[in-house]
Amino acid sequence: KQLVQLDNEDEGYGNIRLGVPRIKIEQKLDAQTTLVKMGLKTLFAQEAFQVLATRLSKLGQVKQSAFIKVDEQGTQAAAAAAIQSLVVSGISNVDVHRPFMYIIRKESTKDILFIGHYSNYEG
> Does the pLDDT at position 10 exceed 60?
no
Where does the pLDDT of residue 45 fall: very low under 50, low under 70, confident under 90, or very high at 90 and above?
Answer: low
pLDDT in tens, 66-103: 888 888 787 787 775 333 333 333 345 566 667 777 77
Alpha carbon distance 116, 120 (integer Å)? 13
pTM for the predicted model, two decimal places = 0.42
Residues 6+ apart with CB under 8 A from 26: 65, 66, 67
pLDDT of residue 84: 34
> Does the pLDDT at position 110 exceed 50?
yes
Quick check: 48 and 59 in contact, CB under 8 A? yes
Question: Which DSSP symbol is given to 108?
Answer: T
pLDDT of residue 123: 53
Closest residue by Cα to residue 67 from 83, 87, 54: 83
